[in-house]
Amino acid sequence: MIKKTLVLSGINLSGKILGLLKVIILASIYGAGTTYDAFIVAYTLPTLLPQILTTIITTIFIPQFHKKDRSSKESWQGLNVLFTFVFSLSLLASVFLYVYSGQIVSLITPGISEITYEKAVTLFKVMSITTFVIGVSSYFIALSNAKEKFYLASIDGLIINSLVIIYCFIYNSDSSIATISILIVSGFLIHLLILLYANRKVLLDNIRFNFNYRHDDFKNPMSKSVPIVVGYIGALSTGIVDQWFSSYEDSGSISVLSYASMLYLLPMEVFGKAVMQTYYTRFSTLADETEKLAKSYTEGLRLILFIMVPISLFLLFANTNLIAVIFERGSFNEKATELTSYVLSALALGLIFRIFTYFNYRLLHSAGRSWSAISIGLLGVIINILFNYILAPSFGLIGIAAATTISLFSSSLISYLLIRKEINIKITSFIDLNFLKISFASMCSIGLYLYLTSIFSDNLCSNFNNCYLATNVLTLTLIPILFILFSYAIKVNEIRDILKYLSNRK
């Protein structure tokens, strides 16, 4: 199991690194302008919709896979109905997106220019194919996971990002965004073919179309998936809402929001999900033991704060140099860096609220309060829309990002109050001296970083090409080292625990 975990982690990490490299290359070619705006508009919806199917299958149906002996054809009846449902719904959705691409682009981004609109519609028609391909893939990904072939679910990022990176390296500034879209569709299709080949025996022997939607093995799990579907649609709505409002801003605003959001969500993807998944399993086992559940919740939240407080402060105060290091080359100029920095600063304020909220949702789901978590999420979407209307006209993209932060703050507060009522957890249980130590160590490391940056920029880099980039890389590397040193000096609990663990392992 350890070997499989390491292999899967390596594949996931490789996919994320290649994904970041892909975005860096696209940013250097297209910058923040109409072409990349159109690409983001065309890419978002067709690839988001199938994720709802993936969520349903992995959380509701596949846990039932091992409950029956699957050696007979009869035992596959319910799963065949599921396959028919996924195949039909994905195909209908893909056709709908293709036929009504113009109307959909106008609906989700009504403020874009005529040039951006025409490009977006063309690319949207191409990307609509992915809705069907990803939808069907989700079924075979779930089957692969049920048979512990976890790596098959994760290789799509490797395939797609590799195709785009190789193409862009060959053609560089002559790269066509239409060709890149076709390569992305091809990557998803290659992934589907690999999944079909890996599950060929099951496909040939057992998978058949079955339209008996009243079958108990389909109907019962589907009825339980309603809150998950509603909640997931609510979670996706925030991004669509932000894109809708940003379409009324200057050309390139959708691109800037996309770049900033990628950097903002990266810590959540790399660190936050790992912590939440680990403690979600523990919450499920302790659902009936209030005292132990409260202790586990506090422990997990302290770990999250230890990771996310320094990262949030870093993204808030040091993001300009980070963006310059990652993106500022080719068509991505200083103006794009500055605007992306402002947007990322507004989003960074909400990073802790975001992971706090989603951590609370895990606890509510494990306690059987799924509809409570979903209601809070939907209320957050409404608050996001409201503050977008208030802030976007005066503050533009920064107001749109601030609206997201405000909605996350409200969701974190409401979810915390509900948890406090349910299991009697007070905020003072994790906002303690150790939290103040973490904040102090974070501020000291960021302050020293800013000081070193100013020295290097003023005294060393005025007459040397690429010196600014080199010194930023150096100082950015120093930040985690400085944070660990400061944390060790003031005896932050988590640092002591890590050192104790390493000592025991040695």
pLDDT tens by residue, 172-220: 878 899 999 999 999 999 999 999 998 888 888 888 888 888 887 777 7
Helices (H), 57-128: 77-99, 101-108, 114-127
pLDDT digits (tens, 9 = 90+) for 93-146: 999 999 999 999 999 999 999 999 999 999 999 999 999 999 999 888 878 777
Please tell me the predicted confidence (pLDDT) of residue 154: 75
Least Cα distance to 310 among 428, 192, 410, 445 occurs for 445
C-alpha span between 121 and 38 (Å, rounded): 8
Kindly state the average pLDDT of the residues 256-261.
92
Please tell me the predicted confidence (pLDDT) of residue 127: 94
Please tell me the predicted confidence (pLDDT) of residue 480: 75
| pLDDT higher at 267 or 62 | 267
C-alpha span between 242 and 255 (Å, rounded): 12
| pTM (2 d.p.) | 0.82
Fill in the DSSP letter of residue 68. S
Please tell me the predicted confidence (pLDDT) of residue 266: 81
User: 144: which 2 tokens?
Assistant: 């692969």
- Is residue 352 within 8 A of residue 309, CB to CB? The reply is yes
Question: CB-based burial of residue 149 (10 Å sphere; 0-12 exposed, 13-18 middle, 19+ buried)?
Answer: middle
User: 405: which 2 tokens?
Assistant: 């932060």
Please tell me the predicted confidence (pLDDT) of residue 463: 45
Least Cα distance to 228 among 414, 60, 46, 47 occurs for 60
- Is residue 402 within 8 A of residue 346, CB to CB? The reply is yes
Q: Which residue has the tokens 């923040």?
A: 32
User: 494: which 2 tokens?
Assistant: 């988590």
CA distances from 15 to 51, 148, 263, 467 (A): 18, 20, 16, 30
CA distances from 243 to 127, 160, 391, 501 (A): 18, 24, 15, 45
188 CB contacts (<8 Å, ≥6 apart)? 130, 133, 134, 137, 156, 160
Q: Which residue has the tokens 């990904």?
A: 141
Fill in the DSSP letter of residue 269. I
Using CA atoms of 50, 262, 252, 335 in order, give the dihedral in degrees to the nearest 10.
180
CA distances from 131 to 43, 48, 90, 124, 448 (A): 10, 8, 6, 11, 48
- Is residue 328 within 8 A of residue 460, CB to CB? The reply is no
Least Cα distance to 142 among 50, 63, 216 occurs for 63
pLDDT digits (tens, 9 = 90+) for 328-367: 888 898 889 899 999 999 998 888 888 888 888 878 877 7
pLDDT digits (tens, 9 = 90+) for 480-495: 777 777 777 777 777 7
Kindly state the average pLDDT of the residues 403-429.
82
